[in-house]
Amino acid sequence: KATATAAAAAASSEPKPACEQAVTHFGVGWKPPADYFVEHPDLAAFFTAGAGVDHLLGLDGLPELLPIIRLEDAGMADQMFLYCLHEILRRLTLSGDYERQQREGRWVELESRPAASLRVGVFGLGALGGELARRLAAMGFSVSGFARGPHQLEGVNCLHGASQWPLFLAACDVLVLMAPLTAQTRGVIDARALAALPTGAWLINVARGALLDEAALLAALERGSIAGATLDVFQHEPLPKDHAFWQHPRIRLTPHVAAQTLIAPSARQVADKILRLQQGESVSGIVNRLRGY
Ligand code: OXD
C-alpha cells in the first residue's frame, strides 16, 4: 500500500526525473587548487573552511559575483582565546624569566603583577579578535583594540583610524595580531610600528605572516626594543628550515595551529547556511571583496 500511495503521489505531482532536476552546486574547502574556479564555473557560493580568505581572492576564474562565505567562529574563537591567553599569562607571570633563572640555577623572587597592570592590544576586532578582547577584559586585563572602523566591546578601549594607530601601539605591553590580510594590512607591523611599541613589549601573531615585516622583527629583537614574539603564522609556510626564527631565543613558534577548523561545528554552520540560501534567506559571513575580508 505504501508503495502504491507513493507512486500515486509521485505521478500526481509529475516530478522531473532526477537527471533533469536543476542541481545547485556549492563549493566548500580551504586552499583549493589554482584552477578550481575555472573548473567549477557554476557554483552558487563557495564556503571557506577557515576565517581568512586572502589566499582565495586572487585565484584565476573566481567569478566576480560569486559569494564567498567564511567560517564565523565555529569553535575557532575559543581556541584562539586559549592560545593567546596562554602566551599572555606567560608574560604576566614572568614564566620566561623564571625558566631562564632555573637554567642558570638562580633563586630570585621577581615582583608579581596584577592582570590590570598588563596592557594588551588586539589588532583586528572581528569574530575572533573581538571575542579575545572581550574575554581578556572580563578577566581584568587592560585591553584596547584597534580596527578599521569603530567598535563597541564591553571593557575594551576600541580605537580606529590612522591618527589613533600610534596611540594604540604605544599602549601595548602585549600586541596580538588578529586582523585579516588585505592590501591595507600587508606589512603593517614594520620597523616603525615595532618602534612605537613600549620597550619590552611582546608580539603575538595568530593572523597572517604577511602582516609582519619579519626582518624588522629580528632587528627589533636584536636592539632589545621588544622582548620577544610568539608566532603561529609566517610569510612562508612551512617555515623554511634555515629561517632565523627557528633557533631564536626570544621567539616561540607553532606551525599555524592557534585555531584549527573543527569539522563538526564547521559542517553544521555550512549546512545551515546552505539551507538558508536555498530558502532565499540572507546569511552572515559573506566576504566583502572590496574590503578584502
Ligand atoms: C584561518 C586559518 O584563516 O586557519 O582560518 O588561518
131-143 pLDDT per residue, tens: 999 999 999 999 9
pLDDT at 5: 31
Rounded to the nearest 10 degrees, what angle do helices 127-138 and 76-92 cross at? 40
pLDDT range class, residue 154, cuts 50, 70, 90: very high
pLDDT at 71: 94
**Can you give the pTM of this predicted structure?**
0.91
Atom number in ligand 1 closest to CA 48: 5
Nearest Cα neighbor of 69 from 88, 80, 81, 53 is: 53
- Which are the contacts of 251, defined by CB distance < 8 A and separation ≥ 6? 221, 228, 229, 230, 231, 245
Percent of the chain predicted with pLDDT > 70: 93
pLDDT range class, residue 15, cuts 50, 70, 90: low
Cα separation, 96 vs 249, in Å, equals 10
pLDDT at 22: 80
Of 256, 268, 276, 289, the active-site residue reads: 256
Q: Other CB atoms closer than 10 Å to residue 52's CB: what's the count?
A: 18
* Average pLDDT, integer, range 89-107: 97
> What secondary structure letter does DSSP report for 110?
P
pLDDT at 3 over 50: no
Q: Is 256 a catalytic residue?
A: yes
Q: Is 51 in the pocket of ligand 1 (CB under 6 A)?
A: yes
∠ CA 175-199-111, nearest 5°, is 90
CA of 51 to the centre of ligand 1 (A): 5
Nearest Cα neighbor of 133 from 152, 149, 113 is: 152
Q: In sequence order, which ranges of the chain are alpha helices (DSSP H)?
A: 2-13, 36-39, 54-57, 76-92, 95-104, 127-138, 165-170, 191-196, 214-223, 263-278
Q: Other CB atoms closer than 10 Å to residue 122's CB: what's the count?
A: 32
* Average pLDDT, integer, range 2-13: 35
Backbone angles phi, psi at 175, to 5 degrees: -110, 120
pLDDT at 67: 97
Q: Is 236 a catalytic residue?
A: no
Of 86, 208, 223, 236, the active-site residue reads: 208
Grid cell listed for 80: 584562539
